[in-house]
Amino acid sequence: MKSWTTPLLQLLCNSGGTDGKSRARPAEPLRDPQHPVSVIALGPSVLCWYKGLGRTPRTWGLPDIWDWTVFSWGCCLLMPGLLGSFPGPYEEEMKGIAAVTDIPLGEIISFNIFYEIFTICTSIITEDKQGHLLHGRNMDFGIFLGWNVNNNTWVVTEELKPLTVNLDFQRNNHTVFRASSFAGYVGILTGFRPGLFSLTLNERFGTNGGYVGIIEWILGKKDAMWIGFIVRSVLENGTSYEEAKNILTKTKILAPAYFILGGNKAGEGCVITRDRKQALDIYELNPKQDIWYVLQTNYDRWKSPFFLDDRRTPAKKCLNRITQENISFATIYDVLSTKPVLNKLTVFTTLMDVTKGQFETYLRDCPDPCIGW
């Protein structure tokens, strides 16, 4: 079985992007080596991604990841026909990645669509007694996409770990925003704009979900934004927490989602529960009413989580035990390391401090005994 992990990984290795090893941050205020950072120069040239991730010799190959997805059939033939429909600069960037890696363009397009519907995550925003905000998330990915019985891992989850990248998007040599993502994906699901706001996206399940939106888009109804593209657009262009909140609340999107948005001052933190057309709920920090954190997994907060996937209850218990006085990067990392919040689907953990400009990403492993999700 051939793999496109190799050409994408070469892009990163050429720039010191990753050594492919999994690193876990200890649950105390120490600093293990973090996942390295690649600089992406924002601008009109589609070469921005190549220069940021490093150029690689052309390598042909079919992806291991791809063999496990529902899009694999016919994608190479069908997806290029959608070109001309994606908003800029994303279409040009996908073409560029395909050109550099020699991965068929149809697979690159489908790889980007694939991220719209398989993201199962936990996101937390906290406010301490001084009004200081912190934002953490576990990226869980790859459910039901192949189980390796030899080492008890999800195939796609493990394939994605060496593709994890820390990106510093710059304009005129100054950081605009930073993000954790996967090589080959041009949208963003986790990121922050230093000094302004932080943003993560969690999947929201629903019958009128991502598949429906994608099919409508393919059939020509293009009045909604891809969720990974709207997150990146907000991070790149947003000028304030309130502006970002307004865009994320009102813009039509292809798939239901939870936007977890944090600002730079007390009270600026919320979970925006979205269907494809509008916001259904905005749950906000309010320490005066003892709401000093907001927590989101993949279930509406007014409903009980699926009994086989209750990450909410243990995460809340951990936060309540820690208390507002003791919240920090280390204690949030503790929460995100608590099983089943940490599970076999967890690819990486990201910690963000907008005010201090701190952004840390760590690849994760969940040693047995560990639940599959």
Report the catalytic residues. 121
Q: Which two tokens stand for residue 150?
A: 């030899």
Nearest to 181 by CA among 6, 354, 10, 12: 12
Q: Name 223's Cβ contacts closer than 8 Å, sequence gap at least 6.
A: 252
Alpha-carbon distance of 358 to 337, in angstroms, equals 19
SS3 41: strand
Alpha-carbon distance of 255 to 143, in angstroms, equals 18
Q: Name 312's Cβ contacts closer than 8 Å, sequence gap at least 6.
A: 295, 297, 299, 305
Angle at 254 between CA 137 and CA 182, to 5 degrees: 40
Alpha-carbon distance of 328 to 130, in angstroms, equals 12
Task: Say which DSSP state 67 is in.
Answer: G
Alpha-carbon distance of 360 to 368, in angstroms, equals 25
Alpha-carbon distance of 21 to 6, in angstroms, equals 15
Q: Name 237's Cβ contacts closer than 8 Å, sequence gap at least 6.
A: none
Q: Which two tokens stand for residue 23?
A: 């690193």
Buried b / exposed e over 289-311, threshold 16 CB at 10 Å, is: eeebbbbbbbbbeeeeeeeebeb
Alpha-carbon distance of 273 to 203, in angstroms, equals 10
Alpha-carbon distance of 307 to 42, in angstroms, equals 44
What are the φ/ψ torsions at residue 140 (nearest 5 degrees)? Answer: -110, 130
